[in-house]
Amino acid sequence: MRSTVTNPFVEIFDLIPSDRIYIQNAFEKITYGDVKLSISLFSQQYSYLAGKNCALITYSRFELAKILPLIASTANKIFLQPRCLKEEVEKEFYTKSCIEYVINVTDFGINATKLSDVNHAEDLEQEWLLSTSGTTGTPKLISYKLASLMKTSKKDLTKGANFKWGLCYDLNRFAGLQVYLQAIASGSSLTISESSDELSDSVKMFIDKNVNCLSATPSFWRIILMTKGSQSLNLKRITLGGEISDQTVLNSLKKHYENAHIVHIYASTEAGVGFSVKDGFAGFPLDYIGPSKSSSVELKIVNDTLWINNDSAASAILNGAIEIDIAGFINTGDIVEIQNDRVLFIGRDSGTINVGGNKVIPEEIEAILNSHPNVIQSKVFGKKNPILGMLVNAEVISENPLNIDEKKAFKKELLSFCKGKLESFKIPAIVKFVENIAVNESGKIVRNNE
């Protein structure tokens, strides 16, 4: 049955002037009117998807943005499935979220495969499901009520006409979805780059399409600043998120884009949008800690770690566990430090290394290094880097003492040993040979954030 509950997302396409551009890339341009038309065609052609729980797999961000409104106009639950999900995780996710149809969108069209039949109540508020990246063990599956996802998006159609957003995140991840919803809630256009694009080409496309609002990780911004021609971006609004925004990158953006409104955002898939900082300084004001009058988000610091309580947070964790206390605060795992009247981010308590927005678990790399026959032990840690925020460094105890030339050769040997086993950003950038690696009383490697 088609739900009679109004869907605030699908409603957008009725409200926005049909000649406004919805999404575009270098090759294609789709208006809000085009989508409105497709919605009615789709619900006729795929009437069997009405009220069903669907997993949606697409091969590009653009394709996902194209089909999402169509599926949302008819389905009950939508799982925005990332491509790289392991088979056993996929199976578990499908069971936990009662998926009935898997919809594959390829160059050849839409292919819907029936998995199961589930009896569920009609007229449910639509839920969207996202998977976390799962760098810390198994990915988590998180379900959001549509209204809570759209809560922070401003809905001003008049102002929206002047905003042209650029997308440089995946649309099936929390950060990308936020940018997307923000853009379309006000009827703005979204210019979509793909993860496979060269950055310089993405920047060229953004300039070409007169993009004036852009949200990206600090690492991505640093590379934009290094890209010739990036000064021609006429930015009104700059958003940073996903990593620690340091003062240097904030200052640099201010200098290059004098007219831009610069905001850094604290958000996570589990905790939802936490808060934004608009004063151009790293970290956030100390008075954000404690109960807030104006927002539904409450913050506290326990043992140097930031905890967050967010009303509009995920409605349910369907798979995986998060640390949550009796008052409803979620442990973010982010270590903070108070300096004067400012709270600054230091790193992750799990030791997770964030290389340009990609999370790296030290133990995973240590396991590979330790599997080399001439390595006795290794320790992997993150070290601050001005370009990517952090880089992977390793200390290695070699079986035999090495002279300078042998060290060079063995480093080379270790790196090629890691290639093929690890993604490039996980391979240690710096390898240092040491005589011992400190362990604590329980025999674990002593880890401290550098």
Choices 110-118, 222-230, 342-350, 363-371; region in contact with other proteins by CB under 8 A: 222-230
Which is nearest to 185 in space by CA: 41, 314, 32? 32
Q: Which residues pair with 55 in a beta bridge?
A: 79, 102
Find tokens 């790399």 and name the residue. 365
Choices 25-33, 204-212, 225-233, 369-377; region in contact with other proteins by CB under 8 A: 225-233
H helices of 356-436, where? 362-370, 404-418
Using the minimum distance from each CB to other proteins, give the nearer residue, 50 or 225. Answer: 225
Binding string, residues 232-251; x marks residues near other proteins by CB under 8 A: ----------------xx-x
Q: Minimum distance between the CB of residue 27 and other proteins, rounded to whole angstroms?
A: 23
Choices 92-100, 185-193, 219-227, 338-346; region in contact with other proteins by CB under 8 A: 219-227
Among 199, 324, 346, 434, binds other proteins (CB under 8 A): 199
State yes or no: residue 296 binds other proteins (CB under 8 A): no
Q: Tell me how far CA of residue 227 lies from CA of 33, 165, 233, 446, in angstroms.
A: 35, 19, 11, 39
Among 60, 135, 200, 370, binds other proteins (CB under 8 A): 200
**Which H/E stretch holds residue 262?**
strand 261-268
Find tokens 């790296």 and name the residue. 360
Choices 64-72, 155-163, 313-321, 425-433; region in contact with other proteins by CB under 8 A: 425-433
State yes or no: residue 258 binds other proteins (CB under 8 A): no
Among 386, 409, 438, 450, binds other proteins (CB under 8 A): 386
Rounded CA gap, 112 and 130, in Å? 20
Find tokens 């490039």 and name the residue. 424
3-state secondary structure (DSSP) of residue 346: strand
Write the DSSP symbol of residue 17.
Answer: -
Choices 22-30, 75-83, 185-193, 388-396; region in contact with other proteins by CB under 8 A: 388-396
Are the C-beta atoms of 283 and 275 separated by less than 8 Å?
A: no
For residue 105 the two structure tokens come to 């969108």
Are the C-beta atoms of 260 and 235 separated by less than 8 Å?
A: yes
Binding string, residues 28-67; x marks residues near other proteins by CB under 8 A: ----------------------------------------
Where on the chain is the footprint of other proteins (CB under 8 A)? 199-200, 219, 222-223, 225-228, 248-249, 251-252, 255, 355-356, 383-388, 391, 393, 412, 415, 419, 424-425, 427, 429-430
